[in-house]
Amino acid sequence: MGKALYISLFVLSLLSVGCKSSATLASDTCGQTDYATQKKFEKVFFEANKQKVLNNKEKSLELYNTALAINPKSHATMYQLASLNYKLDRYQEAVAFAQKAVATTPVYNHWYSGLLGEFYNKFGKYKESADVFAAMVNQEPEVRKNYTEAANQYYNAKQYDKSVAILKQMQTKFGVERESSTRLDFVYSAMGEKDKAVVEMEKLVEAFPANVQYKGYLSETYMKADKEEKAITTLEQIIEEDPAVGKAHFALYSIYDEKGKDRLAMAHLKEAFKYDDLRLPQKMQAVSKYLNLLKSDTSLRADLLEFGETLELNYPTNIEPYILQSDIHALLGDYSLARINIRKAIEIKPSEYQLWTKLLGANAQLDDVDQQIEDTDEALELFPNVVNLYVAQSYAYIERKEIKRGISIADEGLDVAIDKRDIMELTLCKALAYEKLEDYNKADRYYDEIIEINPYNATVLNNYAYSLANRKIELLKADSMITTALKLEPSNPYYLDTKAWILYAQGDYAQALKILNKCIAIDPNGKDYYEHAKACYEALGNKNMANEMQQKKMDKLDDE
C-alpha cells in the first residue's frame, strides 16, 4: 500500500514575475543586471517561450539554457528548464533545476515548490516531497491541497506520525471534514491503531449526521477494527434512513455470506441488485458465485432467475442481464431459453463475438441445424474472417445431409484460414463429409493431412480410428491411434468407446464389453455405448443382455 495515495499533478503555466514594467516581465532579477544584459536576456527568454508553445522542446530547451547563461539568477528560467527536462525524460536535470528555482527565488512561489514536491514524489523521494508540501502548508495555510499532499507523502515515506500531525493540523484549521478524516482512518489503520481510526470516523459521522456515505465509511472502519456488530448496526441505520442504498445491502450481504448465514445474505444481495449505486460489474461478480454452485444445488434456480429478471428490469439496454439468464438456463439444460436470452443480448450488441459463440453452442445442444445455418450466415456478415463460423456451418450442412455444401463451406473457410489449428478443423470437416459420402479414399487422405500437421490431435486420432473400425480395416493402425488419444485423455468415454469398437472389429467381444461398461459408468446417457454393447452381446449369443441394452438405448432416446 506504499503508493496507494498519489500526488495530484500541478498545472504548469508560463510564469511572469516581479517587475512593474511590461518591458521586463521576463526578468526576475530586476535591478541586478544592466539594461543591455536584461534586454538580451528577455529576447532569448521570450523566443524560448515561443518555441515551447510551438512544442519545439529541444529548441526551447537550448534557448532557456542560453537565457540562464545570460542571467544565472533567473528562477523563472530554472522553472521552465525543470519542466522541459522532465518532459524530455531527463529526470536528474529536472530535479536539479526545480531545486535551484526554489532556492533562488527571494520570495515563496507555490508553482516552484509544487513542481519540486511533485518531482520528489515521482522519483520515490517521499520524505523530501512531504517536507516541501509541509513547508507549503506554513506558507499557504488556506490551501487544503498542501495538507493532503504532505500527509500523503509522509504516509508513502512510512512516517505515519508526521502524516497524522499534518492531518490534525488540517482539522484545527478547517474542522472535521471528509478529506482529513478518511485519511486519518487510512493512516491509523496502517499503524495498527484501529480504535483511533474508529474515533476519527465516528467524529466525521457526528459532524455530518445526515450524510449516509460517511456512515458507510464508518461501517467499513468498524469491520476493519473487528467490530462487526457495530458495522451491522450502522448499515441497518443507513437502510432505515434510506432503503435504496444498495451498497449498504451489499455490505450486509458480504458480512452474512462470510458468517454462513445464507438466507440473510441472499435477501440483502437481492435488495442490493435493485439499486444503481452498486455498479453492475459488482453485481455480476457477486452472482457468479451462485452460478458456480447451481449444478450442485438446483434450489438456487429461483434466486438466480430473480437476479436475472431484476437486472433486466434495471438495465434493459445492457447485455449482462441476458447473458446471466442465458447462462442460468444453459446450466439447467434448458438451451431453448438460453438461446432466447442470448439472442436478446445480440440484438443489443451484435459486434460482440462471444455472444455468437454462445448462440451457436445453444444451437448445437439443441441439434437445430437449420437455425445453426441461419445464425452462422448472419454472423459471417459481421465476422467474415472468423474460421470457427465456417466450421460450425460446415458441420451443420453435413448434419443436414447437404454434404457437398458442407465441403464448399469448409473450402471457403480454408481460403481465409491462416492458423494451423483452424486449417486442421476445416480439413476435419472435409474428412467427415467425404466419410458420409463413403468416399473413404478422400476421407482418409484428409485425416492423414491433419495428422501430418499434428500427430497428437486426440479428436482426429479418435475419429480416424473409429472410421477404420467401422470399416473393419487397418485395425492395427486404428488401435495405435486410439492408444495415443487415450494417453492424452485416458478417461474420455468417446475414446474408450472407439477402443471397444476396435476390439469388437477384432472379435474380442468380452474385452470390448469391459471397456463399454466403463464408458457407461462415466457417461450413462451415451446411446452409442448401449448400441455397441448390444452388438457385442449379440456376437456372444447372449440375447437377453442384447435386448436389455436395446431397451436402455430406447429409454435414453425417450428421455430426450
Alpha carbon 445 to chain centroid, angstroms? 43
pLDDT, residue 2, reads: 38
336 burial (CB, 10 Å; 0-12 / 13-18 / 19+) is exposed
Show contacts of 27-30: CB within 8 Å, 24+ apart. Answer: 27/71, 27/74, 28/73, 28/74, 28/75, 28/76, 28/105, 29/71, 29/73, 29/74
What average pLDDT does the structure give for the chain? 91
Is the pLDDT assigned to residue 21 strictly greater than 50? no
pLDDT, residue 20, reads: 30
- pLDDT tens column, 540-557: 999 999 999 999 888 876
pLDDT, residue 558, reads: 64
User: What is the grid cell recorded at 475?
Assistant: 485395425
Q: What is the mean pLDDT of residues 284-305?
A: 88
Alpha carbon distance 318, 359 (integer Å):
17
Q: Give domain 472-560's CATH superfamily.
A: Tetratricopeptide repeat domain (1.25.40.10)
Q: Give domain 373-454's CATH superfamily.
A: Tetratricopeptide repeat domain (1.25.40.10)
- pLDDT tens column, 87-106: 999 999 999 999 999 999 99
DSSP H or E run through 61: helix 57-70
Is the pLDDT assigned to residue 243 strictly greater than 50? yes
The identity of residue 548, as a single letter, is E
pLDDT, residue 557, reads: 67
**pTM (predicted TM-score):** 0.71
- pLDDT tens column, 470-500: 999 999 999 999 999 999 999 999 999 999 9
Is the pLDDT assigned to residue 14 strictly greater than 60? no
Cα atoms found within 13 Å of the Cα of residue 95, Cβ hemisphere only: 13
- pLDDT tens column, 147-190: 999 999 999 999 999 999 999 999 999 999 999 999 999 999 99
- pLDDT tens column, 395-454: 999 999 999 999 999 999 999 999 999 999 999 999 999 999 999 999 999 999 999 999
**Where does CATH 1.25.40.10 sit in the chain?**
373-454, 472-560
Please report, rounded to a whole number, the percentage of residues in the chain having pLDDT higher than 90. 88
pLDDT, residue 1, reads: 36
Alpha carbon distance 358, 535 (integer Å):
37
pLDDT classification of 33: cutoffs 50, 70, 90? low
Is the pLDDT assigned to residue 199 strictly greater than 90? yes
